[in-house]
Amino acid sequence: MSITAEIRVGDKTLPLPVIVGSEQEVGVDIQALRDKTGAVTFDPGYGNTGACESAVTFLDGELGILRYRGYPIEQLAGKVSFLEVAWLLLKGELPNAAELATFTAAEKANRGLPAHVTAIINAFPKDAHPMAVLSAAVLSLSSTYHAETAATHAGLNFNELRLMAQLPTIAAAIYRHGAGLAPVAPDAKLDYTANFLNMMFAGTARSGHDADIANALDLLLILHADHEQNCSTSTVRLVGSAQADLYASIAAGITALWGPLHGGANQAVIEMLDGIVAHGGDVGWAVAQAKDKDSSFRLMGFGHRVYKNFDPRATLIKVQADVVLGKLGKNDPQLAIAKGLEEAALKDEYFVARKLYPNVDFYSGIIYRALGFPYGMFTVLFALGRLPGWMAHWNEHNAGKAKIGRPRQIYTGKNARDVVELSKR
């Protein structure tokens, strides 16, 4: 059965093409609307606007489905490495053994930073927010590699490869600078995640190479690798649509991710749990406060802009939180409060009716804290995971003849008026 659509604006009726995606998602093509009728659509927050066609990630919020390039997140998590997922997002298929070996070797060979990037990191105050430093450091890479935008190496665009290799080095250098510690050079004997943990914590009380802990972090990176057209990904695509280079576009995505309503949400969860601990760990009090419209308390980590069912990533992270805390031998009161909140909310009609299920941020912050990451680094870890997704979308947007992004508006300001001379105002 064919699908048709039309819109009537005043006395004008416009037939509209309908686009049907591979998962039967329906989009009404309104590109001719303003030309033909003088009207534009009004969709604050773009919740009902399809800004592009994409083959990277499929997300069904009603059914709780997340797939990268067709692969369910439940099958990828724990079965493949983060580097394999990065290749999948960037190239469209999982790598074979030879491709993965080449990619892995090239990543290890390109982890070192240009001297000026280290200088930029060290020029920031030690108490600067890590996301501010991360954005500046990534943007500075364009001054070194601007002439090599078309070069390829190990099957990837060289800029993509270098960003994959260098972002963990940048992130670790940011942490070490803020903590007053000397930077740790990359270790080519260690794989991607273990190397990052070593650059972060070598020489501290958290040092040591534990495969289970590295695997847990690798899983978290996989779960954050892409999430369709979210705020930061849309920002990367929008900035890229102006033909800004990869580094500028990713730096813009980092600043978008910084926001507490986006990538900063896992830090907000931990701060909320700290507040509940200060209240004696009373879960009932927290639930009552969350339901009280006059209370300033906000229950962070529940609900999602897209998911109207359980976040499939939260299910995987919840299990991992138990594994990590058990491995580290930590009896974290925050985890007990988190589980109590989840149980209470899932039984309470207020939350059930609103489908306020735990999301990916609810448990990830607990794991990051248990691993020894300071709160300010939580969103940096999110950026490490999201990098391949951002680059995949940047590539996809710029592969075709995409137009520069240019949203419209409904003007609600003053009508035309004349300037009055200063003496008469």
Which tokens is 238 given? 């929008």
Tell me the pLDDT band of 240, cut-offs 50, 70 and 90. Answer: very high
Task: Note the pLDDT tens digit of each residue in 335-381.
Answer: 788 878 878 877 888 888 887 877 888 888 888 888 889 989 999 99
Local structure of 7: helix, strand or coil: strand
Q: What is the pLDDT of residue 4?
A: 80
Specify whether the CB–CB gap between 357 and 313 falls below 8 A: no
3-state secondary structure of 57: strand
Statement: 93-259+381-399 belongs to CATH 3.20.20.70: no
Among residues 402, 410, 409, 411, the alpha carbon closest in space to that of 51 is found at 402
Pick the catalytic residue: 227, 304, 393, 397? 304
Instruction: Give the mean model confidence (pLDDT) for residues 262-284.
Output: 86
Spatial distance between the Cα atoms of 205 and 52, rounded to a whole number of angstroms: 47
pLDDT one-digit tens code per residue, 297-313:
888 888 776 776 677 88
pLDDT at residue 400, rounded to an integer: 73
pTM score, two decimals? 0.89
Quick one: tokens of 171?
A: 């992130």
Q: What CA–CA distance (Å, rounded) separates 59 from 233? A: 14
Which one of the listed residues 227, 311, 361, 393 is annotated catalytic? 361
Above 80 in pLDDT, residue 149?
A: no
Taking Cα atoms as reference points, which of 376, 347, 368, 351 lies closest to residue 299? 351
CA distance linking residue 270 with residue 256, whole number of Å:
20
Written as one letter, the residue type at 23 is: E
For the chain, which residues make up each domain, given as ranges? 93-259+381-399, 265-371
The whole-chain average pLDDT of the chain stands at 89
Q: Which of 44, 46, 50 is nearest to 17 (CA)?
A: 50
Tell me whether residue 361 is one of the annotated catalytic residues. yes
Q: pLDDT band at 147, cuts 50/70/90?
A: low
Q: Summarize the confidence of residues 73-101 as an average pLDDT.
A: 96
Q: How far is 177 from 169, CA to CA, in rounded Å?
A: 12
Compute the distance between CA of residue 256 and CA of residue 231 in angstroms, rounded to an integer: 7
Query: Which residues make Cβ contacts (< 8 Å) with residue 100, sequence separation at least 6?
Result: 83, 84, 87
Q: Counting every residue, how long is the chain?
A: 425
Confidence of residue 150 (pLDDT cuts 50, 70, 90): low
Q: Is the pLDDT score of 183 beyond 70? A: yes
Q: Read off the pLDDT of each residue in 132-159 and give the average, rounded to a whole number.
A: 85
Rounded distance between C-alpha atoms, residue 13 and residue 7, angstroms: 6
Calculate what percentage of the chain has a pLDDT beyond 90: 49
Lowest mean pLDDT among 71-80, 155-164, 300-309, 360-369: 300-309
- Rg of the chain on CA atoms, in Å: 23
In DSSP terms, which residues pair with 9 in a beta bridge? 12
Task: Write out the two tokens for 147.
Answer: 């002439």
Question: How does DSSP classify residue 421?
Answer: P
- Closest to 220 in 3D by CA, of 375, 398, 77: 77
Fold of 265-371: Cytochrome p450-Terp; domain 2 (1.10.230)
Catalytic, 177? Answer no
With a CB cutoff of 8 Å and minimum separation 6, the contacts of 310 are 64, 357, 358
Cα 93 versus chain centre, distance: 21
